[in-house]
């Protein structure tokens, strides 16, 4: 596809997204916000799965725990400064990511999949069984964080349009950040690890350190999405860290096409739209989702992005 055409398409999409709250109904604004949050989460997982070649089944641990950090630290009765709260969540989750990463990165391949799944579930049981974080019910966030610009303009996150724009800005920033990372020397090493870790090691790179840094970055980006999700729903619960949330995100990575910046955008949007249609059609929509996942994984392993740009297939 022509690069100018592609950029024009993206620009048109962006304009449509910016104009949505002006014309769209409340339901659609909220639904697109949900997709935007998911895009951030799926992009962070794609950084591990698609770019580094690390298949994690416990990535939701960082998504959910970010929401828990917000819920546990937000004071009752007053609204926290948005940027302080976001920074606190991202840093706490980054520290958690460093601990988890240091453990699971000692394993490879199938072991890595099992270890990430088990550590993620450990967090699930911890939050589910202990009382301090609300147990299986989770915690409500009564006062959403906000932002006050010189008493002149107030960012109110219970307002759907305000929230929508915040999510849109963060999605754009995250996608640009990932593009930047992958084009940097660091990103080249990461790609080298995916293609051939032994050779990258032989070139003198300490691959464990690079993988760990990448793991921490991915967990911090996941924290941004978890923070937004917690703010949007006003509640956090153990299901947010559970492994079904991780598996769900993994489906979107593959559906979109792993290892491309826009793959997660495509995959997330498609799957969430399809699931919305299934949910309206039948109570047993998970059955249809399961069939779609099996068919996609068997017949289109390169995802939708691989379908549209067949040239890319030979590259990878």
Partner 1 sequence: MDAATVLIQAMNGIQYGLLLFLVASGLTLIFGIMGVINIAHGSFYMIGAYLAWSLMGWVGSFWIGLIVGVTVALLLGLVLEWLFIRFLYDRDHLQQVLVTYGLILIFSELRSMIWGDDVHSVPIPELLSGSIQLTENLAYPIYRLWLSGVCIVIAILMFLGIQHTRLGMMIRAGESDREMTKSLGINIGLVYRFIFALGVSLAAFSGMISAPISSVFPGMGSQVLIVSFVVVVIGGLGSIKGAMIAALLVGLIDTFGKVIHLDIFGVNIFPEMSGMSIFALMALILMLRPQGLFGREH
Residues 6 or more apart from 134 whose CB is under 8 A from it?
A: 237
Q: Are 205 and 196 in contact (CB under 8 A)?
A: no
Query: Which CB atom, from 10 or from 287, has the smaller least distance to partner 1?
Result: 287
Query: Which CB atom, from 144 or from 258, has the smaller least distance to partner 1?
Result: 258
Q: Minimum distance between the CB of residue 208 and partner 1, rounded to whole angstroms?
A: 11
Q: Minimum distance between the CB of residue 160 and partner 1, rounded to whole angstroms?
A: 31
Q: Which of 183, 182, 232, 217 is nearest to 36 (CA)?
A: 232
Q: Minimum distance between the CB of residue 123 and partner 1, rounded to whole angstroms?
A: 9
Q: Minimum distance between the CB of residue 177 and partner 1, rounded to whole angstroms?
A: 24
Query: Which CB atom, from 187 or from 238, has the smaller least distance to partner 1?
Result: 238
The rounded distance, in Å, linking the Cα atoms of 185 and 68 is 34
End-to-end, the C-alpha distance of the chain in Å comes to: 18
Q: Minimum distance between the CB of residue 226 and partner 1, rounded to whole angstroms?
A: 21
Q: Are 93 and 66 in contact (CB under 8 A)?
A: yes
The rounded distance, in Å, linking the Cα atoms of 271 and 292 is 9
Q: Minimum distance between the CB of residue 120 and partner 1, rounded to whole angstroms?
A: 9
> Two tokens at 213?
């840094």
Query: Which CB atom, from 114 or from 261, has the smaller least distance to partner 1?
Result: 114
Q: What angle do CA 244, 247, 249 make, to 5 degrees?
A: 110
Query: Which CB atom, from 74 or from 116, has the smaller least distance to partner 1?
Result: 116
Residue spans of alpha helices (H) in the chain: 3-23, 26-46, 60-73, 82-104, 109-129, 160-183, 185-195, 197-202, 207-233, 243-256, 263-281, 285-299, 303-308, 310-315
Query: Which CB atom, from 143 or from 276, has the smaller least distance to partner 1?
Result: 276
Q: Minimum distance between the CB of residue 108 and partner 1, rounded to whole angstroms?
A: 6
Query: Which CB atom, from 21 or from 303, has the smaller least distance to partner 1?
Result: 303
Binding region for partner 1 (CB under 8 A): 49, 55, 57, 103-104, 106-111, 113-115, 117-119, 121-122, 125-126, 128-131, 243-244, 247, 250-251, 254, 258, 284, 286-287, 289-294, 296-298, 301
Residues 6 or more apart from 148 whose CB is under 8 A from it?
A: 154, 155
Q: Minimum distance between the CB of residue 279 and partner 1, rounded to whole angstroms?
A: 13
Residue 122, exposed/middle/buried by CB under 10 A (0-12, 13-18, 19+)?
middle
Query: Which CB atom, from 36 or from 250, has the smaller least distance to partner 1?
Result: 250
Q: Are 121 and 59 in contact (CB under 8 A)?
A: no
The rounded distance, in Å, linking the Cα atoms of 221 and 42 is 10
């Amino acid at each position: 596809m022509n690069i100018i055409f592609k950029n024009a398409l993206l620009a048109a999409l962006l304009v449509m997204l910016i104009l949505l709250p002006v014309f769209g109904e409340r339901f659609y604004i909220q639904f697109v916000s949900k997709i935007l949050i998911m895009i951030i989460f799926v992009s962070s997982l794609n950084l591990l799965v698609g770019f580094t070649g690390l298949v994690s089944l416990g990535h939701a641990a960082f998504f959910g725990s970010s929401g828990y950090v917000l819920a546990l630290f937000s004071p009752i009765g007053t609204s926290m400064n948005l940027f302080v709260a976001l920074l606190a969540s991202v840093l706490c989750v980054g520290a958690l990511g460093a601990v988890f990463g240091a453990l699971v990165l000692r394993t490879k391949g199938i072991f890595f999949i099992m270890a990430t799944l088990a550590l993620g579930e450990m967090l699930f049981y911890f939050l589910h069984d202990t009382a301090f974080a609300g147990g299986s019910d989770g915690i409500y966030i009564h006062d959403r964080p906000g932002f006050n610009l010189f008493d002149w303009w107030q960012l109110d996150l219970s307002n759907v349009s305000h929230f929508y724009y915040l999510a849109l800005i963060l999605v754009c920033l995250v996608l640009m950040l990932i593009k930047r990372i992958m084009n940097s020397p660091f990103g080249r090493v990461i790609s080298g690890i995916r293609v051939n870790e032994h050779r990258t090691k032989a070139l003198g790179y300490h691959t464990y350190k690079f993988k760990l840094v990448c793991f921490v970055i991915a967990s911090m980006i996941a924290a941004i999405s978890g923070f937004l999700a917690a703010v949007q729903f006003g509640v956090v619960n153990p299901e947010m860290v559970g492994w079904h949330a991780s598996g769900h995100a993994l489906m979107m990575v593959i559906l979109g096409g792993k290892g491309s910046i826009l793959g997660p955008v495509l995959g997330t949007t498609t799957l969430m739209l399809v699931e919305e249609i299934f949910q309206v059609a039948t109570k047993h929509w998970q059955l249809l989702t399961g069939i779609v996942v099996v068919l996609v994984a068997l017949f289109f392993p390169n995802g939708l992005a691989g379908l549209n740009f067949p040239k890319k297939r030979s590259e990878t």
